Amino acid sequence: MTAITLVQGDITRQRADAIVNAANSSLLGGGGVDGAIHRRGGPEILAECRRLRASRYGRGLPTGQAVATTAGALDARWVIHTVGPVWSATEDRSALLASCYRESLRVAGELGARTVAFPAISAGIYGWPMDDAARIALETVRAIPTAVEEVRFVLFDARAHQAFTRALG
């Protein structure tokens, strides 16, 4: 039985086996939570991302997929990078958002992570409405059989925390 917990705060201050990054497909860093993870985690994470770009992901990490690196100076063993879909008003991309959570948990399970911290993927720069992002995140995590013992959603502000609290029911 996987415990789902919600906290408000900065994901880069969390202790967890794995911290999930809402990356972009370049894997070379960006704004939002991605920038914060690289700033606090230090250059080792970016160095490993560059190696992944040069080897497995020459065209970038596809949307909905996930890949792990070192967590550098973060209080974690791994950062799991996943690329959320950009919100679209005309196209339903929710399967891709669900895939981010599913694939990140699959990678976490393969690594043997017992605690995994997630941000609200796609709900920042990528524009996903927070209530819908929260619903998809929680429905997906609840439906996945995993050896991960705790999935912790780390919500950056009160609005995000409230949306996840409502969606958790």
Q: Is the dihedral of CA 5, 27, 35, 48 positive or negative?
A: positive
114 neighbors 78 (Cβ within 8 angstroms) = no
In this structure, the chain runs to a length of 169
Residues 1-20 that bind ligand ADP (CB under 6 A): 10-12
Q: Which residue has the tokens 């070379």?
A: 28
The answer to the question of residue 85 lying near ligand ADP (CB under 6 A) is no
User: Cβ atoms within 10 A of the Cβ of 56, count?
Assistant: 9
Choice from 160, 161, 163, 164 touching ligand ADP (CB under 6 A)? 160
Tell me the two tokens of residue 139: 């429905």
Q: How many residues bind ligand ADP (CB under 6 A)?
A: 20
* Residue 145 Cβ vs ligand ADP, minimum distance, rounded to whole Å: 25
Residues 93-122 that bind ligand ADP (CB under 6 A): 119-122
Choice from 6, 16, 22, 97 touching ligand ADP (CB under 6 A)? 22
Write out the catalytic residue numbers: 34
Distances (CA, A) of 60 to 51, 57, 150: 12, 5, 29
Choice from 29, 32, 42, 109 touching ligand ADP (CB under 6 A)? 32
The answer to the question of residue 42 lying near ligand ADP (CB under 6 A) is no
CA–chain centroid gap for 28, Å, is: 16
The answer to the question of residue 123 lying near ligand ADP (CB under 6 A) is yes
Q: Could you list the residues that contact ligand ADP (CB under 6 A)?
A: 10-12, 22, 32-34, 36, 84, 119-126, 154, 156, 160
